[in-house]
Amino acid sequence: MDNGVSSYRRFLSGDDEGLTLIIKDYKDGFILYLNSYVNNIYIAEEIMEETFFKLAVKKPKFNEKSSFKTWLYTIGRNVAKDYIKHNAKFSMSPIEDVEKYLKDETNLENLYIKSERKIIVHRALCKLKPEYYQVLWLSFFEEFTNQEIAKITGKSKRQVENLLYRAKQSLKLLLNKEGVSI
C-alpha cells in the first residue's frame, strides 16, 4: 500500500474509486483515533465522514511534506477540534443510548484490534489521560513516527517524545496494577 497517495491522485483526476479506497483503508482506525477527542463513537464517525466529505468537495492539495495518512489524520484532528469548539455544551443521553454506544464501540474496537495483547493494551489506554491515549494510539496502533505524531497533534517532536515517555510510564503502571506484565 502506498499510504493512500495514488488513490488520492486517482480521485483528483476524476476516478471516484480512489476516494472509496481511501475510506475503506482508513475508516476504522481513523474513527477510533477521533473517538479519543470526542468520547463518542457516533460523533467520531460523523467527524470521519465530514473529513472525507471535505476531501471529496474541497479536494485540498496534498503537498507531500508528510505521509498521506499523517496529512489525513491532521485534517481529522482539526475537524474534531472544530466540532468540540462549536458543540462544547454538555448533553444528557438516555442510558439505553449509552449502553448501545458502548457495545458498538467495543465491537468496532475488537474488529480493528485483532490480537489479544492489543485488546488488553487498548482497554488500559482508555483509562489514561486523553493526551496520553492519543499519542500512544498514533504510535502503537497506527505506527506513526514521532515526527508524524507531532504534525498530527500540532506539537513539537520533543513534546511528543516527552508525552510518549510519560504515557508509556502511566500505561506500564496501570497494566502492572491489573496484573499484566510487559
Domain locations in the chain? 1-101, 113-182
CATH of 113-182, one of 1.10.10.10, 3.30.230.80, 3.60.70.12, 3.40.309.10: 1.10.10.10
Residues 169 and 72: their CA atoms lie apart, in Å, by 29
What is the per-residue pLDDT across 21-55, written as a single tens digit (0 to 9) for each? 999 999 988 998 898 888 888 899 999 999 999 99
pLDDT of amino acid 179:
72
Pick the CATH number of 1-101 from 1.10.1740.10, 3.40.309.10, 1.20.120.160, 2.60.40.1120: 1.10.1740.10
The pLDDT tens digits of the residues spanning 103-161 come to: 566 666 665 555 666 667 777 888 899 899 999 989 988 899 999 999 999 999 999 99
Give the whole-angstrom CA distance, residue 21 versus residue 34: 20
Name the residue among 139, 141, 143 with its Cα closest to residue 165: 139
Q: What is the DSSP letter of 138?
A: I
